[in-house]
Amino acid sequence: MKHDEIAVIDFGGQYAHLIATKVRRQGVLAEIRQPEDPIEAFEGFKGIIISGSPSLASHGEDSEYTHAIYDLDVPIIGFCFGHQEIARHYGGEVVHGGREWGKANLHLTGEHPLFAGLGPIEQVFMSHYDSVASVGADFQEIGYSKATEGSEGHRFAAIASDTLRRYGLQFHPEVDDTVHGDRIIANFVLDICGCEPSWTMDGYVDEESERLRQQVGGGAVFLLASGGVDSTVAAVLIARALGPERLHLLHIDNGLMRKNESAEVVEYFEEIGLGDNLTFVDASETFLTALEGVIEPEQKRRIIGDTFIEVFQREAERLGIGDHLLGQGTIYPDTIETGASKRSDTIKTHHNRVPIIEQMIEAGRVVEPLVELYKVEVRELGVKLGVPDKLVDRHPFPGPGLGVRLLCNSGDDDRTGFDQIEPALEPIAGRFGLEALALPIRSVGVKADLRAYEHPVMLSGEASWDMLIQATSAITVDAPGINRCVWNLSTEAPIGAHAVAGTVTRQRLDLLREADAIVMQALERHGLYAAVWQCPTVLVPCALEFTDGGPEGEMIVVRPVASQRAMTARPVELPKAMIADLRRDILALDGVTALALDLTSKPPGTIEWE
């Protein structure tokens, strides 16, 4: 069937494929295009969307692209960087400044077809350094933004030229934190571009099944099956497309699994009728040996990914199936955060995007039926394929497992930038009646589509949830070198903190496994498991210092978030009764002397700490 199509030009922002997904949610097929594609590649599309980018339009970065798109007689809209490029092309000015992270209020200046059905003030999601300072003669401002009422507004958050059919939005309507972003996209795609909705998930199943049959031909697939939603749904789809006899599954216990995880995974695949296809391997010693003494997050991720492939190849040879294609449950966030797009920054390398995997992909040796989907679409697909709810609704668990939740340190404090951070913290935290302490460690974050390896801040004191979130937002925006805030759940505020030595060892992993099991059981017991999208439990090699001394130990951070597609996330408030349970049970663990709750949205903090 021929579908109306929208071209999404991918300038390397994290959300290019999320834009495409949101267009597909309107029943319209979206296709990713590169900025340097020849103009002929854009023929036949009913409209064009220009994505965000880690580049700075104010500095003319990434300005060498196919500008002939602006001569096409189709509507074009830009988001964030795309918005700035449209303003620049038509005589506007873009300046470096006016940065905004996270939620903001969009104030509409009047009625416009792009905002049909919206109210005069809308919650939107911002993530930018550059801002549009003026627009060309053909354009008008149709919206400006404010972080909060009473704050200074940002002009030209939304611009339009109805005569040219060109539009720009400084915010990201494609992310779920823009409350009516789907409506804005629908207004552009269905009304302004005039697309006829005809794309469905049912059609995707048929089309992807045919693509799988063409790629695999008469061969077979050897799939790495973690037991998570992605690899499970991928296994079921491949078995349906090729026949179960042409699918072999490998589950590897890498020593980084949750408590009793591998035994449960074997049971799950037996329940869905693929148990006979599954080979289980305990390779924990291999992984822990490879990770011995490693501290740097990216190095850990690469070692884990490389070791997965080493074990896979060894088992394939042992089983006599070395000619099988490698199957993976890769979804799009894995590829974009790894920097797999030509222009995207590497936020963190996923285990299924290490160099050896990239080489196999180029050689046509990898099968990834979910690579264009996000978690919410994978779950929808799982339901259509008959995967049991308890598997479809499982919390996501990263491929590197607890390896990215077990932070490592040589024992040396990292106080880089503290001479600027510490003077900025006290007045900001004081506005909210809180104490703030910068921690001498770092974690991975993302700001304006760029990797941010920066310090967390611990907040101490009693405050409402809204006040804590406001304080976190203010600190991550206004304090330099900070991408994450946590709330101290101990009974007193620390007077200092220092790093402690800790590497990847079975002992530390066992401690983290126990803490993680306590958190998961508490979510179930308090009826919150379904309401929380994911809840990493993190072991942080950092000791708090109190006036009365106390034993030396590490800190556990609990990170409950709500999300749909993993590209953005917001922290979830836990009830006081559950916090009391966690404080009692986790602080009783030998080696744990501090407990904190992560308050950070994504961005600026990634969901995982590494």
Catalytic residues: 80, 172, 174
Which pair of structure tokens corresponds to residue 151?
A: 């704050």
Check if the beta carbon of residue 291 is closer than 8 Å to that of residue 505.
Answer: no
Q: What's the angle, vertex CA 62, arms to CA 445 and CA 166, rounded to 5?
A: 100
CB burial of 507-536 (b: ≥16 within 10 Å; e: otherwise) equals ebbebbbbbbebbbebbeeeebbeebbbbb
Check if the beta carbon of residue 33 is closer than 8 Å to that of residue 9.
Answer: yes
Which pair of structure tokens corresponds to residue 387?
A: 């995967």
Check if the beta carbon of residue 156 is closer than 8 Å to that of residue 128.
Answer: no
Helix (H, G, I), strand (E, B) or coil at 583: helix
- 98 closest CA partner among 169, 152, 54, 175: 152
Q: What is the 3-state secondary structure (H, E, C) of 324-339?
A: CEEECCCCHHHHHHCC
Sequence-distant (≥ 6) Cβ neighbours of residue 58 within 8 angstroms: 84, 94, 95, 96, 130
Check if the beta carbon of residue 47 is closer than 8 Å to that of residue 189.
Answer: yes
Instruction: Specify the pairing of strand 166-169 against strand 450-460.
Output: unpaired
Q: H helices within 67-200, ranges in order?
A: 81-89, 181-186
In the 8-state DSSP scheme, what is residue 246? G
In the 8-state DSSP scheme, what is residue 48? E
> What is the rounded radius of gyration, in angstroms, for the C-alpha atoms of the chain?
24
Helix (H, G, I), strand (E, B) or coil at 603: coil
Straight-line distance from the first to the last Cα atom of the chain, in angstroms, rounded to the nearest whole number: 43
Which pair of structure tokens corresponds to residue 466?
A: 């809204």
Which pair of structure tokens corresponds to residue 134?
A: 């003026």
Which pair of structure tokens corresponds to residue 366?
A: 């990898």
Helix (H, G, I), strand (E, B) or coil at 230: helix
Q: For residue 421, what is the enclosing H or E element?
A: helix 418-431
Check if the beta carbon of residue 165 is closer than 8 Å to that of residue 159.
Answer: no
Which pair of structure tokens corresponds to residue 251?
A: 């589950």
Q: H helices within 217-347, ranges in order?
A: 229-242, 261-271, 284-290, 297-319, 332-337
Which pair of structure tokens corresponds to residue 215?
A: 């790629």
